Amino acid sequence: MSRVNEKLLEDLSAKDDLLFRLGDTLDVKASIVMVVITFVGTETAYFFSKSLHGIPFYLQVLSVAGLVFATLASIAGLWPRRYWMPDPEGIVAHRIKELKDFYTPEGGDIESNILGQLELDEIGWARKRIADNRGKNSVKSRCLDYAFYSTAIAIFCNVATLVWFTHPF
C-alpha cells in the first residue's frame, strides 16, 4: 500500500467514523428538543385553560402551531435511517476473486496488482460511504434546525403570554 493512499484511507476512515457519530449526536439533540416540546406544550395547555382573549389567545395559537411543526420536524429528524457501514468481509472477498481472475492472464506480480487495486477500491468505497452518510446527517440537521426554531417561537409566545398576565397592557 502506498504511503499516500494509506494516509488518505486513514483520513477517510476517520471522517467516516465522525459522520457516523454525528448521526448519533443529532438523534440525542432531537430527543432533547422533544422533551422541551413536551414541557412547552404543557405550558400552552395551561394557558389555554385560563380562557384567553385577545393577544394572549393568538400567541398561544401561534405556540401550538410552532409546537406541531417542531414535533413533526423532530420526528422526521429521529426517523430511522440506515447508515452505510464498512463491510470489508463481503465486498473485499468478492473483489479479490474478481481481481485474481482479471490479473491472472496478464502475469507479473499479481499480488501487488491486486493490493494496489484493493487500495483504490477501499478509498472509493470510503468516499461513497462518506457522501451517503453526510447526506443523511444533512437532512437530520436541517430537521433539527426547524424543530429548534419552531420550539423557540413557541417558547417566545409562552413567555410573552406570561408577561401579559403579570403586566397587562
Radius of gyration of the chain (CA): 26
pLDDT in tens, 62-74: 999 999 999 999 9
pLDDT bin (cut points 50, 70, 90) of residue 97 is: low
How far is the C-alpha of 54 from the C-alpha of 136, rounded, in Å? 43
* Residues 27, 33, 132: CA angle, nearest 5 degrees: 30
How far is the C-alpha of 123 from the C-alpha of 129, rounded, in Å? 10
Range name among 57-61, 78-82, 106-110, 128-132 with the lowest pLDDT average: 106-110
pLDDT in tens, 39-50: 999 999 999 898
Cell of 41: 406544550
Cell of 63: 405556540
Cell of 158: 409562552
